[in-house]
Amino acid sequence: MSNLQVQLIKKPDAKYPRVNDVFQVKTASTPTASQLKDGEVLLENLYFSIDATMRVWISGAKTYVDPVLPGNTMFGQAVSRVLASKSQKFQKGDYVIGVVNWTLYQIISDAKLHLVKRGGDIDDLTGYSFLGPLGISGLTAYVGFEAIGKPKEGETVVISAAAGAVGEIAVQLAKTYYKCKVIGIAGGPDKCDYVKKQLGAHDCIDYKNENLSKRLRELTPNGIHVYFDNVGGEMLDEILMHITDHTRIILCGAIATYNQTGEPYKVKNYPRLIIKRAVMQGFLYFDHPELFKPGQATITQMLKQGQLKIRYDVQNGLEQAPNGLAKLLLGQNNGKVVVKAKADQPKL
Amino acid sequence: MSNLQVQLIKKPDAKYPRVNDVFQVKTASTPTASQLKDGEVLLENLYFSIDATMRVWISGAKTYVDPVLPGNTMFGQAVSRVLASKSQKFQKGDYVIGVVNWTLYQIISDAKLHLVKRGGDIDDLTGYSFLGPLGISGLTAYVGFEAIGKPKEGETVVISAAAGAVGEIAVQLAKTYYKCKVIGIAGGPDKCDYVKKQLGAHDCIDYKNENLSKRLRELTPNGIHVYFDNVGGEMLDEILMHITDHTRIILCGAIATYNQTGEPYKVKNYPRLIIKRAVMQGFLYFDHPELFKPGQATITQMLKQGQLKIRYDVQNGLEQAPNGLAKLLLGQNNGKVVVKAKADQPKL
């Protein structure tokens, strides 16, 4: 078994989402079961999640995780199979989720892992779902609404990056579960079509080709009650002009600011929060473990009833992971970006 | 009885806190009891509150109250005596509070008034207290903490405009009632002395003469848990660099932005809210009527036990109200600015 490893080789700079060239893919030695210490497992990493927040980690900024510095192996959430175990928690054949290195094989402490399936087989789609609707994307959408947005039936919910991994789940939760009027915002007619026709949003604003301010005035005549913000920056500033009394702004991401260096975008309309007695709150899903079970139950139910459409943008092979991240940061992805660690081989 | 009336004559423009010259004081006809319709009372307005938010009202901006336009009589909260009544709610001799015109006498619907004292006499200090600690200032401080800040014992609370009407109550509540470490921010050594020595803050930063960033680093080594923001703008931006996980920012006012025209101050550090999973929320005390009774009880208790020092900056005579507002906006006031409608006469 030969191992692969994706390493950060330099800090990305400038307004530079094309981060694929700050990584290198190397072959590496493969760890073996004989190296395991007590409490450790040997993993085969199967499916990786690609998330916009990785852009922040590789910038070297101090956040809620240690930054990835040049020379470090990149990491991220993944679904993995336990190949060998000296852990009390996991046995050979278990499927687990956790933040692991961008490698094919790895030895890791069991404290960093959660069980998702006990033995047996796993198909790709099930693997992806633990990274998407039943994982970070789904829980992020659910926790954002439950902990901050608190949408009430009939309210108007606006969601940016509505065709994105979190956005598409947020749109469908807001529409089907919370029974709200949902306006998506996305870049380009294809994404907007998807948000309207496939996800069922009331409407979707193509911010690249339409006048956001004018369209928001038309579509939210009573103001925006909940804004699920996956974008930040200038779009957030415009939204602030359309809030109403007691609007809740869920600060989920600021992808618009991740690629900037130097002066970040400055929000000029924040005093609207005072006039409208509105709230703007950042969150991370993992601060609300009490919401995981109800969130997964709600989403599982919707998946079973065909009420939740999820698209995956699959990168074929771990060596494609940097390209997947660049694609996401460039807004060129269609749905949740995941990596299948071992590439499907072309059938000849 | 001759009446006086303070009228807005033009919209203030530019970075212009000296708003005294956009008003004129006129004599006006005095309404009489014979003009009363059912549900109305004839008031003698005794004590007026001067509030920074008035700067917004007279700018013509659309907010939670109708703007004051040139030609309109200015209004504001006041304690008044009922001189005559055709109301079921109030009788002659009652003392009431409400938003009234800046006049000495006025006929008004009883729906706009609340009873503060049934008959008898009232001394000036009691009158002011209904406008201050037992009125807007006190309830604003209390509601801000209860609804948003939720300070826990031992946490670090930073309060801007700490020597101001709301700030001085917030400092004392945070220290005595919530048992927090309190850092004030105020302009100039005199105000800072007051905040430390009279109000009992742990320390006070003189933002006019000290390096705010450096002092915050020294004084809040574990970060700021609650920020009671009476100022907004650049100071808020600096605070955002010192927040910690789950910080609560109480957006009470943005006095720093009120006198600006053209481009408002832009907050560049708002993405810190995401990284720190922090909340920034605007509010108005009157959205939380459920907190009025506990708030007044808490504050009354503290007043009785001598735990709440309050300073009033009294303007002598209704005709001084515009000067009082300018003084407040220039930061030249000492404590809560109030107007005694009928000037004390010099004793000859």
Instruction: Give me the CATH number covering residue B35.
Output: 3.90.180.10
Whether residue B261 lies within 8 A of chain A, CB to CB, comes out as no
* Best B270, B279, B288 residue to mutate vs chain A (most A CBs within 10 Å): B270
Contact of B13 with B60, CB cutoff 8 Å: no
* pLDDT of amino acid A263: 63
Q: Which of A251, A271, A283 sits opposite B254 (nearest CB)?
A: A271
Tell me: do B18 and B158 sit in the same domain.
no
Contacting B residues, span 287-316, partner chain A, CB-CB under 8 Å: 287
Task: Indicate yes or no: CB of B268 within 8 angstroms of CB of A268.
Answer: no
Whether residue B277 lies within 8 A of chain A, CB to CB, comes out as yes
Domain for residue A192, yes or no?
Answer: yes
Contact of A8 with A23, CB cutoff 8 Å: yes
Tell me: do A207 and A143 sit in the same domain.
yes
Contacting B residues, span 81-100, partner chain A, CB-CB under 8 Å: none
* Residue A118: C-alpha distances to residues A81, A93, A99, A123, B20 (Å): 10, 7, 19, 14, 75
Tell me: do B58 and B86 sit in the same domain.
yes
Domain for residue A348, yes or no?
Answer: no
In chain A, which residues have their Cβ closer than 8 Å to the Cβ of B232? 270-271, 274
> How many Å apart are CA A84 and CA A107, to the nearest integer?
9
Tell me: do A252 and A127 sit in the same domain.
no
Confidence of residue B86 (pLDDT cuts 50, 70, 90): very high
* pLDDT of amino acid B19: 80
Tell me: do B157 and B45 sit in the same domain.
no
Sign of CA dihedral B183, A148, A231, A102: positive
Tell me: do A151 and A298 sit in the same domain.
yes
Tell me: do A245 and A166 sit in the same domain.
yes
Nearest C-alpha in B relative to A257: B271
Whether residue A232 lies within 8 A of chain B, CB to CB, comes out as yes
Q: Which residues contact B90 (CB under 8 A, 6 or more apart)?
A: B41, B82, B96, B110, B113, B115
Tell me: do A65 and A174 sit in the same domain.
no
Backbone angles phi, psi at B332, to 5 degrees: -100, 5
Domain for residue B92, yes or no?
Answer: yes
Task: Indicate yes or no: CB of A264 within 8 angstroms of CB of B271.
Answer: yes
> How many Å apart are CA A23 and CA B230, to the nearest integer?
46
Give the three-class secondary structure for A105: strand
Domain for residue B164, yes or no?
Answer: yes
Contact of A323 with A332, CB cutoff 8 Å: no
pLDDT tens track for B272-297:
999 899 999 999 888 999 999 999 99
* CA A79-A80-A85 angle, 5° bins: 145
* pLDDT of amino acid A22: 94
Q: Which residues contact B239 (CB under 8 A, 6 or more apart)?
A: B158, B160, B216, B224, B227, B229, B249
* pLDDT of amino acid B65: 80
| Domains in chain B, number | 2
Average pLDDT, chain B: 92
Tokens of A75: 């990491």
Which is nearest to B50 in space by CA: B132, B145, B108?
A: B132
Contacting A residues, span 107-136, partner chain B, CB-CB under 8 Å: none
Residue B346 in this model has a pLDDT that exceeds 80: no
Q: State the CATH number of the domain containing residue A226.
A: 3.40.50.720
Tell me: do A180 and A273 sit in the same domain.
yes
> How many Å apart are CA A165 and CA A311, to the nearest integer?
8
> How many Å apart are CA A314 and CA B92, to the nearest integer?
78
Q: Is B209 exposed, middle or buried (0-12, 13-18, 19+ CB in 10 A)?
A: exposed
Count interface pairs A-B at CB distance under 8 A. 98
Contact of A147 with A289, CB cutoff 8 Å: no
Nearest C-alpha in B relative to A272: B282
DSSP state of A198: I
- What's the gap in Å between the CA of A227 and the closest CA on chain B? 14
pLDDT tens track for A257-292:
655 555 667 888 998 999 899 999 999 888 999 999
- What's the gap in Å between the CA of B255 and the closest CA on chain A? 10
pLDDT tens track for A207-233:
999 999 999 999 999 999 999 999 888
Q: Which of B254, B267, B277 sits opposite A267 (nearest CB)?
A: B267
Domain for residue B43, yes or no?
Answer: yes
Domain for residue B203, yes or no?
Answer: yes
Task: Indicate yes or no: CB of A281 within 8 angstroms of CB of B284.
Answer: no
Q: Report chain A (348 residues): mean pLDDT per 10 consecutive residues.
A: 92 75 94 96 97 88 84 96 97 96 97 93 92 92 97 98 93 98 96 96 97 97 97 92 97 68 75 93 91 94 92 95 93 89 78
Contact of B96 with B90, CB cutoff 8 Å: yes
Q: Which domain holds residue B273?
A: 136-304
Tokens of B250: 């109480």
Domain for residue A109, yes or no?
Answer: yes
Tell me: do B127 and B150 sit in the same domain.
no
Which residues make beta-bridge pairs with A8?
Answer: A23
pLDDT tens track for B214-266:
999 999 999 999 999 998 889 999 999 999 999 999 999 766 665 555 566 78
* pLDDT of amino acid B1: 67
Contact of A45 with A78, CB cutoff 8 Å: yes
Tell me: do A118 and A160 sit in the same domain.
no
Q: Which of A64, A254, A281 sits opposite B271 (nearest CB)?
A: A254
Per-residue buried b or exposed e for A179-218, using 16+ beta carbons within 10 Å of the residue's own CB: ebbbbbbbbeeebbebbbeebbbbbbbbbeeeebeebbee
Domain for residue B345, yes or no?
Answer: no
Q: Which of A236, A268, A279 sits opposite B279 (nearest CB)?
A: A279
Task: Indicate yes or no: CB of B264 within 8 angstroms of CB of A274.
Answer: no
Overall average pLDDT of the B109-113 stretch: 96
Neighbours of B152 (CB within 10 A): 12
Whether residue A267 lies within 8 A of chain B, CB to CB, comes out as yes
Backbone angles phi, psi at A258, to 5 degrees: -65, -35
pLDDT tens track for B197-211:
999 999 999 999 999
Tokens 């992806």 locate to A128
- What's the gap in Å between the CA of A338 and the closest CA on chain B? 24
Whether residue B278 lies within 8 A of chain A, CB to CB, comes out as yes
Q: Which residues contact B107 (CB under 8 A, 6 or more apart)?
A: B31, B35, B36, B40, B41, B42, B43
* pLDDT of amino acid A65: 80
3-state secondary structure string across chain B: CCEEEEEECCCCCCCCCCHHHHEEEEEECCCCHHHCCCCEEEEEEEEEECCCCHHHHCCCCCCCCCCCCCCCECEEEEEEEEEEECCCCCCCCCEEEEEEECECEEEEEHHHEEEEECCCCCCHHHHHHHHCCCCHHHHHHHHHHHHHHCCCCCCEEEEECCCCHHHHHHHHHHHHHCCCEEEEEECCHHHHHHHHHHCCCCEEEECCCCCHHHHHHHHCCCCEEEEEECCCHHHHHHHHCCEEEEEEEEECCCHHHHCCCCCCCCECCCCHHHHCCCEEEECCHHHCHHHHHHHHHHHHHHHHCCCCCCCEEEEECHHHHHHHHHHHHCCCCCCEEEEECCCCCCCC
Which residues make beta-bridge pairs with A169?
Answer: none
Tell me: do A123 and A263 sit in the same domain.
no
